[in-house]
């Protein structure tokens, strides 16, 4: 296990991006969050504005269209966006973590110039497609195929649950080139969604993060040029998991933002609402909820900073930070669910009402325990690392 130093001093740049994200979320996202949650429409206008502010490729170097900042800057900004609306946060995290990270680490210079620049700058929308209808946690069982024919790979199959797929310009796709090798037969490709053979499938109606469009995608003899292969044949699983390490830090920050929103709403309500002649906050039963929420939030924050620092150290040393990322995601997502649950309870009937955002926090929190590896998978990853198992 890497043991990064926990001495963290936020720089003026960190404070600046946090404030930028906070101001934007309050001014531009807060007024529309409930409406887009209700309609399920993709908030393209605000997402483009986030791109213009440098929020769609925070850690990417400026030469590739990014903001050239570090992982701490990324987690601070994502937390602020998610504190107001987790749907915007999902779109932001897929662009930043799942699309840009993979190309930056494994892409050729030509791929970076064409795909990374466009997505990191927010000009284009990126997506990441690993999951299939019959293959989620167990990626080695995927059914889609890419078969090489000269200078192209012919891709066929169906992928599911692709965040941003209904609007994405480019997708990092993971598919089988050698099925008999299972995980070691997976290869990654860069897909252009305006090419023949790419079909957008049905959009998923969802419990939460409803404004982050999610859909199936279908490949019908899609011809992918060899130069659009990301990494080597058979390297796809390694790329997918490396990228998910980064992604899990993002989802942990999303969870922290939701937890904080639920907590702040609860504190405000407990100070205002009265029952039996006292403020709710004067009852010990409410105080225990507030104390547990606050303690878990601060513990989650430290695990996230720990993982972000581990990622920054790994960038210098070339190592991995799998354990730190999984611990942050596991704990922060369960904290989000815990805090959202307590917040609905503290609000009583109003917690169940669409007039307040608390019910949205409750619905949005759940996804953080599912995508980019469920809580069960995070526990497996953590335990395997500790037990020295593969």
Ligand X SMILES: Cc1cc2nc3c(=O)[nH]c(=O)nc-3n(C[C@H](O)[C@H](O)[C@H](O)COP(=O)(O)OP(=O)(O)OC[C@H]3O[C@@H](n4cnc5c(N)ncnc54)[C@H](O)[C@@H]3O)c2cc1C
| Chain residues in the site for ligand X (CB under 6 A) | 94, 128-131, 136-137, 161-163, 206, 209, 214, 367, 370-374, 376-377
Which CB, 51 or 136, lies closer to ligand X? 136
- Tell me how far, at minimum, the Cβ of 270 lies from ligand X, in Å: 31
Question: DSSP assignment of 269-317, as one string?
Answer: HHHH-EETTEEGGGSHHHHHHHHHHHHHHHHHHHHHHHHHHHHHHHHHH
Q: Assign 263 to helix, strand or coil.
A: helix
Q: Which residues pair with 175 in a beta bridge?
A: 187
- Output the DSSP codes for 144-187: -EEEEETTEEEEEEEEEEEETTTT-SEEEEEEES-GGGGGGGEE
- The residue annotated as part of the active site, out of 15, 260, 372, 386, is 372
Give the shortest CB-195-to-ligand X separation in angstroms: 20
Q: Residue of minimal CB distance from ligand X?
A: 136
Whether residue 299 contacts residue 331, with contact meaning beta carbons closer than 8 Å, is answered with yes
CB of residue 238 to ligand X, shortest distance in Å: 16
Minimum CB separation of residue 212 from ligand X in Å reads 7
Q: State the burial class of residue 80 (Cβ atoms within 10 Å of its Cβ: 0-12, 13-18, 19+).
A: buried
232: left (phi over 0), alpha (psi -120 to 50) or beta: beta
Q: In sequence order, what are the residues at sequence separation of 6 or more whose Cβ sits closer than 8 angstroms to the Cβ of residue 195?
A: 222, 223
Known active-site residue 372? yes
Looking at the Cβ atoms of 111 and 131, the one nearer to ligand X is 131
Of 133 and 319, which has the nearer Cβ to ligand X? 133
**Pairing mode of beta strands 186-192, 198-203:** unpaired
What is the helix (H) or strand (E) element at residue 222, kind and residue range?
strand 214-225
Task: Using DSSP, state whether 201 is helix, strand or coil.
Answer: strand
Label residue 295 left, alpha or beta by phi (over 0 means left) and psi (-120 to 50 means alpha). Answer: alpha
Smaller CB separation from ligand X, 94 or 120:
94
Q: Which residues of 250-269 are buried (b: 16+ CB within 10 A; e: fewer)?
A: bbbbbbbbbbbbbbebbbeb
Tell me phi and psi for residue 140, to 5 degrees.
-70, -10
- CB nearer to ligand X: pick between 71 and 129: 129
Length of the chain: 390
Q: Which CB, 121 or 144, lies closer to ligand X?
A: 144
Q: What letter would DSSP give residue 236?
A: H
* Residue 279 C-beta: closest distance to ligand X, Å: 38
Element (H, E) at 375: helix 375-387
Q: How far is the CB of 165 from ligand X (least distance, A)?
A: 8
For residues 90, 134, 101, 225, the Cα torsion angle rounded to the nearest 10 degrees is -120
Name the minimum Å distance from CB 133 to ligand X: 8
Q: In the complex with ligand X, which residue's Cβ is closer, 204 or 233? A: 204
Catalytic residues: 372
């Amino acid at each position: 296990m890497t043991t990064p130093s926990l001495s963290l001093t936020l720089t003026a740049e960190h404070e600046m991006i946090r404030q930028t994200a906070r101001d934007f979320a309050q001014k531009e996202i807060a007024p529309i969050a409930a409406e887009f949650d209700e309609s399920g429409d993709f908030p393209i206008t605000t997402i483009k504005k986030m791109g213009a502010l440098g929020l769609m490729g925070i850690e990417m170097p400026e030469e590739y269209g990014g903001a050239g900042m570090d992982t701490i800057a990324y987690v601070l900004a994502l937390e602020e966006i998610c504190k107001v609306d987790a749907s915007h946060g999902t779109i932001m995290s897929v662009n930043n973590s799942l699309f840009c990270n993979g190309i930056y680490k494994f892409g050729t210079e030509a791929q970076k110039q064409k795909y990374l620049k466009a997505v990191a700058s927010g000009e284009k929308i990126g997506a990441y497609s690993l999951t299939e209808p019959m293959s989620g946690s167990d990626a080695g069982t995927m059914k889609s195929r890419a078969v090489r024919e000269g200078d192209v790979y012919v891709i066929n199959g169906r992928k599911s649950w692709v965040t941003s797929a209904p609007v994405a310009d480019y997708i990092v796709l993971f598919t089988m080139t050698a099925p008999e090798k299972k995980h070691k037969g997976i290869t990654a490709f860069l897909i252009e969604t305006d090419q023949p053979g790419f079909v957008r499938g049905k959009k998923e109606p969802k419990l939460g993060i409803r404004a982050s469009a999610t859909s199936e995608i279908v490949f019908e003899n899609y011809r992918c040029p060899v130069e659009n292969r990301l990494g080597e044949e058979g390297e796809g699983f390694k790329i997918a998991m490396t990228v998910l390490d980064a992604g899990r830090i993002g989802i942990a920050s999303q969870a922290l933002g939701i937890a904080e929103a639920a907590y702040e709403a609860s504190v405000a309500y407990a100070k205002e609402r009265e029952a039996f002649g006292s403020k709710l906050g004067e009852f010990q039963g409410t105080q225990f909820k507030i104390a547990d929420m606050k303690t878990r939030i601060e513990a989650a924050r430290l695990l996230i900073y720990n993982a972000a620092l581990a990622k920054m150290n790994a960038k210098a040393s070339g190592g991995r930070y799998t354990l730190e990322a999984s611990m942050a995601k596991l704990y922060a997502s369960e904290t989000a669910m815990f805090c959202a649950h307590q917040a609905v309870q503290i609000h009583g009937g109003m917690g169940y009402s669409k007039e307040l955002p608390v019910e949205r926090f409750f619905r949005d929190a759940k996804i953080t325990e599912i995508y980019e590896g469920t809580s069960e998978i995070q526990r497996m990853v953590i335990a395997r690392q500790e037990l020295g198992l593969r």
